[in-house]
Structure 1
Amino acid sequence: MGTRDDLLAAAKQCLAERGYARTTVRDIVAASGTNLAAINYHFRSKDDLLNLAMVESVSDAMQELLAAQADGEAGGVRVRLEEFWARLVGSFDTDRALWSANIEALAQALHSPEVRAPMAEGQQRARSDLAELLSPDNDANAGTVIVTLLNGLLVQWMVDRERAPTGAQITAGVLALADALKADGGS
């Protein structure tokens, strides 16, 4: 690996260990074995480096979930959706630091276009990937709903894990709404 890759790997490690807001350039330099000037040379700023590290970390986590989902594509949409939610909630436990850092980055995005732009791109990519995987006709609206539910579930899980909905509850709720809309004639 080169210096750029070392810095990116160190930034990902620091995000997982310290979170977005508490990661300093000194932390990254110490973890990477590089020097401070290398951050500016390769990434322009600590924020640009952390933004890329955050987007790549979340993207990697989502790709792992999607790959696991693709391996188990047997069953209908309901089964695939329940499996996706179960895997996602499981990743909140196994990758808690990553998901906590994601929440911090989302809060930073409110005030920083440099954070907002890559986060928005990552969410758009997730909507597309999830629609392709979980919607029988690759409906973009399905991906939009799933990402919206994912973000809400993440916040609820981080705030009150014990009472956050399960994947089965979310799937049942989506199906109940779909049934209600069908009964209403779709109007």
Structure 2
Amino acid sequence: MDPLSPGNPVGCSPVGRPSVEIIFYGSLASVGHREDLLEGAKRCLIEKGYARTSARDIVAASGTNLASIGYHYGSKEALLSVALIEATREWGDEVAAALSSSAVDKAAPLEQFQNFWDEVITRFSAHRALWAVTFEVFTQIDRVDDLRARLSDAMEEARQGLGGFWAGAPDEETSRALGSLLQALLTGVITQWLVDPQRAPTGRDLTLALRSIVRIVAEDPTTRPAEVD
């Protein structure tokens, strides 16, 4: 069943790994509860979304208890924020690993660009629910404590990672600017694929656009390097 369907059943799929409990300094301590909660929260985000996921859903999915959420993360909202950021980081790692294994770094710059977007779109299609819930979370930044700060830090991390896409950036400022541009494109492309996948741009489309921009700028006699400073 599609996790985004209104008919999705109540509750989330269990993570399938039981927690081990021990007595530590007179209190009940849970070994592995933190990791189980994180995995359970990620699963609930994908299957139910941010707003529809309850603390009890996460507990049921993770095989833990309500007290563990407060002990390890402070609140359900904080746990879901961490889970979302971790899930998107894992998605980014998948894209990077796929590009690395395809030796994309040896390709010409425009070929690298198209390979990057082809991989992003392929990975998006396999994780559509993750990106749907990401946009849902954006609507909560003024309602949930610390959410804006967590997302801001995650975005800056993404800028830095994306800035290294082309290894030829001459300095840190340029690398960050490249990362910001790619992040802006990424947000826009994913939005289009969420809303209208039949007409959303492909890697070839984006590369054609970039090639055209480069040609137009190069052929413009009024363009000088000083104008971009």
Is the pair's TM-score, using the shorter chain for normalization, greater than 0.5?
yes
Gaps spanning 5+ residues in structure 1: where?
none
Partners in 2 of 1:56 and 1:180 — Cα distance?
40
* Superposed displacement of residue 135, structure 1: 4.7
Partners in 2 of 1:83 and 1:74 — Cα distance?
11
Partners in 2 of 1:117 and 1:41 — Cα distance?
21
C-alpha contact (below 8 Å) 1:156/1:164 kept by paired residues: yes
Q: Does 1:6 align with 2:36?
A: yes
* Superposed displacement of residue 175, structure 1: 2.6
Q: Which residue identity lines up with residue 119 of structure 2 in the other structure?
A: R
User: Would you tell me which structure has more helix in proportion to its own residues?
Assistant: 1
Q: Which residue identity lines up with residue 201 of structure 2 in the other structure?
A: P
Task: Report percent identity of matched pairs.
Answer: 36
* Superposed displacement of residue 111, structure 1: 4.2
C-alpha contact (below 8 Å) 1:70/1:133 kept by paired residues: no
More relative contact order, 1 or 2 (CA 8 Å, 6+ apart)? 1
Q: Within 5 A, what are the aligned runs for 1:15-26? A: 15-26=45-56
Gaps spanning 5+ residues in structure 2: where?
1-30
Partners in 2 of 1:61 and 1:21 — Cα distance?
22
SS at match of 1:134: coil
* Superposed displacement of residue 126, structure 1: 1.4
Q: Within 5 A, what are the aligned runs for 1:37-116? A: 37-71=67-101, 72=103, 73-112=105-144, 114-116=146-148
| Candidates 159, 170, 173, aligned match of 2:195 | 159
Partners in 2 of 1:94 and 1:50 — Cα distance?
21
Which residue of structure 2 aligns with residue 181 of structure 1? 217
- Indicate how the Cα distance of structure 1 residues 164 and 135 shifts in structure 2: closer, same or farther if over 3 A, else same: farther
Q: Which moved more, 1:20-29 or 1:48-57?
A: 20-29
Structure with the greater alpha carbon radius of gyration:
2
| Candidates 135, 138, 146, aligned match of 2:182 | 146
User: Would you tell me which structure has more strand in proportion to its own residues?
Assistant: 2
C-alpha contact (below 8 Å) 1:135/1:142 kept by paired residues: no
Residues 105-146 of structure 1 deviation map (CA, whole Å, 9 limit, x = unaligned): 222225445222222212211111111123522622111111
Partners in 2 of 1:113 and 1:81 — Cα distance?
37
| Candidates 157, 162, 182, aligned match of 1:125 | 157
SS at match of 2:68: helix
| Candidates 64, 82, 97, aligned match of 1:34 | 64
* Superposed displacement of residue 181, structure 1: 2.6
Partners in 1 of 2:177 and 2:206 — Cα distance?
17
Which residue of structure 1 aligns with residue 14 of structure 2? none
Q: Does 1:169 align with 2:201?
A: no
Alignment coverage as a number of residue pairs = 187
SS at match of 1:58: helix
* Superposed displacement of residue 178, structure 1: 2.7
C-alpha contact (below 8 Å) 1:8/1:49 kept by paired residues: yes
Residues 24-68 of structure 1 deviation map (CA, whole Å, 9 limit, x = unaligned): 111101001111111111111011000000001001100111122
Residues 56-84 of structure 1 deviation map (CA, whole Å, 9 limit, x = unaligned): 10011001111221222221111111111
Partners in 2 of 1:180 and 1:118 — Cα distance?
39
